[in-house]
Amino acid sequence: MKVSGVGCAHRKMELFMKQILAILVVALLFGQTPVFAETKEIIAEGTYNMGDGETPTVAESRALLQAKRIAVEEAGLMWEVILYGGVPYRPISLGTHK
């Protein structure tokens, strides 16, 4: 015994799913605009005062670490300007820091 309409409903569902898939593929391929990132070189300088018994290699690595920190902070500030519409975001401090 065959129930009428079941096969027809299944075919309609398949056609509907194929149409949705086609729309998604077209949207993904043509709906997005290409984004080109701007490359900016950040130059930072780090210093370190050597103490007694430290090697120049240790002092150089610590100065390099400070320069990297400064460069990362500068890059983070640039991101804040981009994300928050040209104004760096700084949270308001309600307490006093001593």
Q: Where are the domains of the chain?
A: 6-83
- With 90 as the cut, is the pLDDT of residue 98 above it? no
E strand or H helix at 66: helix 56-83
Asked if pLDDT for residue 88 goes beyond 60, the answer is no
Could you report the per-residue pLDDT of 52-87, keeping only the tens digit for each?
999 999 999 999 999 999 998 888 877 777 666 666
- Do 29 and 23 meet the contact criterion of CB atoms below 8 Å apart? no
DSSP letter for 4, please: T
Residue 79's pLDDT is what? 74
Q: What is the pLDDT of residues 8-58, one digit of tens each?
A: 778 888 888 899 988 888 877 776 655 566 778 889 999 999 989 999 999
Q: How far apart are CA 63 and CA 90, in angstroms?
A: 28
